[in-house]
Amino acid sequence: MSAGYEQTVTLVDGHSDLVARIVAGDREAEREFVQRFERGVRALVRRNCRPGDPIVDDLIQDVLTGVLERLRAGVIRDSKALPAYVQAAVVYATNAEYRRRKPIEPNAVVEHIADGETPASRAQSAQLASVMRELLAELPVARDREVLKRFYLDEQDKDSLCHDLSIDPSHFHRVVFRARERYRVLLEFAGILGTV
């Protein structure tokens, strides 16, 4: 196991103590929360905003402050849900910002609503899919990116993948498992694993 993997797991697993300390009014725990989540929030806000948009820093501040207020109030009790809650807060804040800026044509929105699907859920699903594709592209090992994309997204069969990527068929499932584990670490770090 690499040192980076261990560090990420430690950060993800350490939320229960942090949540309890924030609920108890520990200001140091609040600073620790900001240190742990600011980088991931910044990355998600940038992904959800238009390139070069000056509102990025304000949205980061709004998300972190809003989540801290909910932590202080005891609204967020499940520490395992904290990363997903932060991710949802980013999506909500960026969506709200862009909705506020652009008037919506009611007829255009109604025409595009699928059965049982709301515009908010569809937008959130699209944003989540976009973030997941970007995270997949960030996998450091090219073979991991290729095998996950082709096997899961393109639904290519095992035999053609083994042939094209020079993978021994008896090791294929191990290769896929390791690629999924490295991808899972990126999802956890981005705070979106609980949403998928």
- 3-state SS, the chain, equals CCHHHHHHHHHHHCHHHHHHHHHCCCHHHHHHHHHHHHHHHHHHHHHHCCCCCCCHHHHHHHHHHHHHHHHHCCCCCCHHHHHHHHHHHHHHHHHHHHHHHCCCCHHHHHHCCCCCCCHHHHHHHHHHHHHHHHHHHCCCCHHHHHHHHHHHHCCCCHHHHHHHHCCCHHHHHHHHHHHHHHHHHHHHHHCCHHHC
Rounded Cα gap, residues 137 and 135, in angstroms: 5
Domain ranges for the chain: 3-102
Task: Give the CATH architecture of domain 3-102.
Answer: Orthogonal Bundle (1.10)
Which pTM value belongs to this model? Answer: 0.45
Rounded Cα gap, residues 26 and 28, in angstroms: 5
At 152, the amino acid letter reads Y
Assigned token pair, 172: 């294929």
Are 88 and 78 in contact by the 8 Å Cβ rule? The answer is: no
Rounded Cα gap, residues 44 and 195, in angstroms: 14
> How would you class 163 by CB atoms within 10 Å of its CB: exposed for 0-12, middle for 13-18, buried for 19 or more?
exposed
Give the pLDDT score at 28.
Answer: 92
Average pLDDT of adjacent 10-residue blocks, the chain of 196 residues: 35 67 88 90 84 82 88 80 83 77 47 51 72 80 88 84 90 88 78 58
Are 95 and 120 in contact by the 8 Å Cβ rule? The answer is: yes
Are 131 and 47 in contact by the 8 Å Cβ rule? The answer is: yes
Give the pLDDT score at 3.
Answer: 39
